[in-house]
Amino acid sequence: MSREPQAIPSVPVIADNFRAGRVGLCGRPNVGKSTLLNALVGAELAIATRFPQTTRERLLGVWTGPGHQAVLVDTPGIHRAKSALNRFMVDEALRGARSVDVLLLLAEVPMLADAAAAELWEPGEGAMAALTALAEIGKPITLVLTKVDRLHPPELLLPVIARWTGLHGFAAVLPVSAHTGAGLDDLRRHIIAGLPLGQPRFDEDQLSDRSMRWHAGERVRAALFRHLGDELPYACAVTIEAFKEQRRPEKDIIRATIHVERESQKPMLIGKGGQTIKAISIDARKAISGLTGRACDLFLNVSVTANWTRDAALMQRLGLHEAVGGES
């Protein structure tokens, strides 16, 4: 990954039939969008946790291969939005969907006990809401059924596909597992075939449109999800105050602030004797070093930014305001 990735206006085309374009990974929360992006790019770019609504902003993952460049748009989950933060996340998802050449609706396969349960299965309210929202955009939609490795026997998938295809005329239905790799080659071929002819937008060595500074903040957020309870990470935002690349010894020195909404949340984040914040720092430092390939010193500060998830102005101050890639 380049240190400060930037879109480049002109890259020589390798062949006249080179394909390049944007691919939207959309769907309800926790269906595997970030995990699929990482599998296609071949790097742990997007943070992926077991918690829904982990992704807050659109991230571009750049997948370049012989004869093609697919810019993968990882979007927040489409869900019922109540707070300003949730509305921002849904708007991010739909903006991302409108600007792509290949639109993928991701839906996880259900846990089914037997064939009788498979015949009676119906998509849930959240999955239907995501389909409805994307159908209104008017683009062809490819249905990607994720996590198929958990469905046994595989024949149980047939009535699930039949139910989905009865609801919408999808361009294709592709079952995949990012965990085992099942179906990923078919998905790759489908994506490449759907890209328009054109020049690549990013250098072939570039994996993301985001700076290393942004990715460092995401690694701190991922550590919050791993070390805190089910609710507190959603009330946390991370800002990187300083990111210095030191040459001797070679390491990155990073200072970050974790913002919480209420004073009562601050001691929960710090933990008894500072043990929780120490564990978060160690975890995030290891993840950042794994991404950069350099040693890292990470210094975390905890600050109360009251009700930031409900205040659009505060969200902007914390960096949640710009469309990824400069497009709406």
Long-range contacts at 154-163 (CB < 8 A, ≥ 24 apart) = 155/115, 156/112, 156/114, 156/115, 156/118, 157/109, 158/118, 159/115, 159/118, 159/119, 159/121, 160/109, 160/110, 160/112, 160/118, 160/121, 163/121, 163/122, 163/123
Q: Considering the domain boundaries, does residue 119 fall inside one?
A: yes
Confidence of residue 51 (pLDDT cuts 50, 70, 90): low
Q: Distance between CA atoms of 227 and 276, rounded to whole angstroms?
A: 7
Q: Considering the domain boundaries, does residue 225 fall inside one?
A: yes
Q: Considering the domain boundaries, does residue 255 fall inside one?
A: yes
Q: Are residues 187 and 225 in the same domain?
A: no
Q: How many domains does the chain have?
A: 2
Q: Distance between CA atoms of 28 and 307, rounded to whole angstroms?
A: 25
Q: Considering the domain boundaries, does residue 9 fall inside one?
A: no
Helices 212-227 and 275-292 cross at an angle (nearest 10°) of: 140
Which of 194, 225, 247 lies at the terminal end of a domain, its last residue? 194
Write the pLDDT tens digit of every residue in 268-302: 999 999 999 999 999 999 999 988 888 999 999 99
Q: Considering the domain boundaries, does residue 5 fall inside one?
A: no
pLDDT at residue 147 tops 70: yes
Confidence of residue 91 (pLDDT cuts 50, 70, 90): low
pLDDT of residue 326: 37
Q: Distance between CA atoms of 149 and 278, rounded to whole angstroms?
A: 36
| HEC profile of 242-295 | EEEEECCCCEEEEEEEEEECCCCHHHHHHCHHHHHHHHHHHHHHHHHHHHHCCE
Confidence of residue 40 (pLDDT cuts 50, 70, 90): very high
Q: Considering the domain boundaries, does residue 204 fall inside one?
A: no
Q: Are residues 33 and 181 in the same domain?
A: yes
Write the pLDDT tens digit of every residue in 186-232: 999 999 999 999 999 998 888 888 888 888 998 998 899 889 877 88
Q: Are residues 90 and 160 in the same domain?
A: yes
Identify the CATH number of the domain in which residue 261 sits. Answer: 3.30.300.20
Q: Considering the domain boundaries, does residue 114 fall inside one?
A: yes
Q: Are residues 174 and 63 in the same domain?
A: yes
pLDDT of residue 76: 66
Q: Are residues 236 and 188 in the same domain?
A: no
Confidence of residue 89 (pLDDT cuts 50, 70, 90): low
Q: Are residues 172 and 229 in the same domain?
A: no
Identify the CATH number of the domain in which residue 135 sits. Answer: 3.40.50.300
Q: Considering the domain boundaries, does residue 11 fall inside one?
A: no
**DSSP codes of every residue in 23-56:** EEEE-STTSSHHHHHHHHHTS--S---SSTT---
Residue 89 belongs to domain spanning: 19-194
